[in-house]
Amino acid sequence: MKALLSFLRLFTHAKAVLFLGLILMIAGLAASIGLLTISGWFLAATALAGSGSLFNFFYPSATVRGLAIGRTVARYFEKVVTHDATFRILAKLRVQVFKKLIPLSPSVLNRYRNTDLLNRLVTDVDTLDGLYLRLLAPIISAIVVIGFITLGLALFNIPLALFIGSSLLILLLVIPILFYHLGTKFGNKLTLSLADYRTRFVEFIQAQAELLLFNSHLSLKQQLDQTEKEWQSYQLQEAKLSGVSTAILLFANGIILSCTLWFAADADFSTSGYKTAIIALFTFASLAAFEILMPIGAAFLHIGQLIASAERVNEIIKQTPLVQFTGNETIENTTALSITFNNVCFTYPEREDIALNTISFSVLQGEKVAILGKTGSGKSTLLQLIVRNYDPIQGEILLAGKPIQSYSEQSLRQHICLLTQRVHIFSDTLRNNLQIANSQLINDEKMRDILKLVGLKNLLEQPEDLDLWLGDGGRPLSGGEQRRLGLARILLNDAPILLLDEPTEGLDRETERQILKLILAHCQHKTLLMVTHRLTAIEQFDLICIIDDTKLIEQGSYTELCNKPDGYFRQLIERID
């Protein structure tokens, strides 16, 4: 239950609306109970009066009609008000969760599957709508309405009214405890199995092309079916317990109804002429009162799922980011943006192997640096440290002579642009996928010119032009086209420092030369750090750094490294030649 406490604070953002919804829920419930109670008394009293007696049926009939209309109106507006307020609270909660997720990326979020994160952000947050609609509001309404019933029936007979009221209050205490223990036994398992099924299902759909290509879809489909059967088995348990809860409540209803009839038969009512009608009034009141308890039994039957969803959301949002932007320095002089690594060591979280070991080198403003090395040697990690996706465990990185931690996140993001090996294409138009490269509005003609330069002229030949829909992950594009689109973003970006991780991977030799020519022309007055394992146009870089086995083993200009006897770079050049 403690997991739910942090989400109760969200209700303060819609106190007035939630209170109005609670009033409407109480009004609708009271009107429903009053309708059945007065209807029972009215029918019994009319039968007792007979056709030859004087009996005022206008007031009771008008009351019945008024309660019927009032119940309908109250329940309609209660649904509108409470659901609208709940959706607003969930929207705020989802935004808060997303704000918590952003600082955790990528250092913490790399531990989770993307589909699992999506499931927590959407499904688990949606499950929490029951916290108000199914749990809090029905309990508060039940307490208030039970009080009204007791006071109303006390006008006719106090002991009998106290019996009905106390019986309902006892059940109101017992039912949550009973169904809480029943629901928590499988609620957590049901939530986790549903999350596992959704995660597997989304990944199965996303990987359909690859699974069919390698003829692996049948085995994964069997695993998906097995997960679905497990989920359905927990749903079956829930359905059985729901039936048991209904049976228990109906049984309790029957006992209280029988006791009410038994006690009412010997009770002393002031209106002895219509004693039987008063007995009917108490009987129907006890019968109708169980409309209060039915939602509470169902609510506590589902509370295990609520708690499990809350714990899954809390597991994410209560984690501390490994990288925290506490600095407030801003970059004022963009003509002196040197980058210096001083004995930098780094190990990825939850791993023991060293990713970078005592790296030291400097990059002056406007220099073009190529970082060479084998796969897994630590080249890409260097770029991740510069943009502060991670912080070094030892040593320091200086930007313009100051520790990189002293700058604000906004300032770093404005002055450093990183192109990773995996170019993400958003499910949006071609125009919007390019617009994210710059905070300023980019002219359509400039976008077209850049697309032609990077060899994506074929996209502009489509009837939609820049409004071409690229779909989820850019599936209409080939791998090479996706990388070119990423390069187009780089050419549209005006940051003074560019970090490129294998920008020409997957391109043919001729296209690679054209792209490198574009990059170097674009970076004529910018600082460029490019990770690569290919030597095309390598002589045009001012500094070449070679990393092997997490260490910087050589650095210098092309000429210096070529003339270095027994040097690693020289041996590499000779081997290629």
DSSP track, 295-355 = HHHHHHHSHHHHHHHHHHHHHHHTSPPSS-----B----TT---EEEEEEEE--TT--S-S
CA distance 47 to 50: 5
Cα torsion angle, 43, 44, 49, 54, sign: negative
Domain end residue (candidates: 267, 282, 317): 317
Output the pLDDT for position 569: 83
Instruction: List, in sequence order, every residue forming a beta bridge with 546; answer none if it has no partner.
Output: 372, 554
Identity of residue 524: Q
Number of domains the chain is built from: 2
pLDDT(125) > 60: yes
Look at residue 330 and tell me if it is in a domain.
no
Output the pLDDT for position 332: 78
274 and 422: one domain?
no
Tell me the pLDDT band of 55, cut-offs 50, 70 and 90.
low
Q: DSSP state, 451?
A: H
Question: Is 106 in contact with 322 (CB distance < 8 Å)?
Answer: no
Domain that holds residue 551: 339-576
Domain end residue (candidates: 269, 287, 317): 317
The CATH number assigned to the domain holding 134 equals: 1.20.1560.10
pLDDT in tens, 248-258: 888 888 888 88
Tell me the pLDDT band of 529, cut-offs 50, 70 and 90.
very high
**DSSP run (H or E) holding 233:** helix 217-265
282 and 349: one domain?
no
275 and 410: one domain?
no
Give me the mean pLDDT over the 174-203 stretch. 80
295 and 416: one domain?
no
Domain end residue (candidates: 284, 317, 350): 317
Look at residue 435 and tell me if it is in a domain.
yes
Residue corresponding to tokens 């039915």: 294
Output the pLDDT for position 320: 83
Per DSSP, the chain holds a count of helices (H) and strands (E) of 22, 10
Give the β-pairing of 527-531 and 497-501.
parallel
Look at residue 325 and tell me if it is in a domain.
no
pLDDT in tens, 353-372: 888 888 888 999 889 999 98
Output the pLDDT for position 486: 86
32 and 143: one domain?
yes
pLDDT(411) > 90: no
CB count, 10 Å around CB of 216? 12
Give the β-pairing of 543-548 and 551-556.
antiparallel
Give the helix ranges, DSSP H, for 56-111.
58-104
pLDDT(327) > 90: no
153 and 267: one domain?
yes
Give me the mean pLDDT over the 305-315 stretch. 82
b/e 261-290 (16+ beta carbons within 10 angstroms → b): eebbeebebeeeebbbbbbbbbbbbbbbbb
Look at residue 326 and tell me if it is in a domain.
no
Output the pLDDT for position 410: 87
Give me the mean pLDDT over the 547-571 stretch. 85
**59 or 563, which is more confident:** 563
For the chain, give the percent of residues with pLDDT over 90: 5
348 and 497: one domain?
yes
Give me the mean pLDDT over the 257-262 stretch. 87
Q: What strands lie across the sheet with 402-403, from one edge to the other? A: 356-363, 339-346, 394-399, 402-403
73 and 140: one domain?
yes
556 and 514: one domain?
yes
The CATH number assigned to the domain holding 350 equals: 3.40.50.300
Q: What angle do CA 92, 116, 311 make, to 5 degrees?
A: 60
pLDDT(51) > 60: no
Give me the mean pLDDT over the 368-397 stretch. 89
Question: Is 133 in contact with 229 (CB distance < 8 Å)?
Answer: no
pLDDT in tens, 470-498: 877 777 787 778 888 888 888 888 888 99
Inter-helix orientation angle 137-154/158-206, to 10°: 160
Look at residue 327 and tell me if it is in a domain.
no
Q: DSSP state, 377?
A: S
365 and 304: one domain?
no
Look at residue 324 and tell me if it is in a domain.
no
Reported pTM? 0.73
410 and 287: one domain?
no
Give me the mean pLDDT over the 226-233 stretch. 86
Look at residue 158 and tell me if it is in a domain.
yes
Structure token digits, residue 60: 């009771």
pLDDT(272) > 60: no
Per DSSP, the three-state class of 498 is strand
Output the pLDDT for position 499: 92
Output the pLDDT for position 345: 92
CA distance 109 to 118: 12
pLDDT(11) > 70: yes
Tell me the pLDDT band of 342, cut-offs 50, 70 and 90.
very high
Residues in the chain: 577
Give me the mean pLDDT over the 406-412 stretch. 88
291 and 181: one domain?
yes
Tell me the pLDDT band of 77, cut-offs 50, 70 and 90.
very high
Give me the mean pLDDT over the 175-190 stretch. 77
Look at residue 177 and tell me if it is in a domain.
yes
Q: What is the mean pLDDT of the chain?
A: 83
Tell me the pLDDT band of 216, cut-offs 50, 70 and 90.
confident
Structure token digits, residue 93: 């909660």
Q: What strands lie across the sheet with 527-531, from one edge to the other? A: 416-419, 497-501, 527-531, 368-373, 543-548, 551-556
**251 or 212, which is more confident:** 251
CA distance 101 to 316: 7
Give me the mean pLDDT over the 436-461 stretch. 85
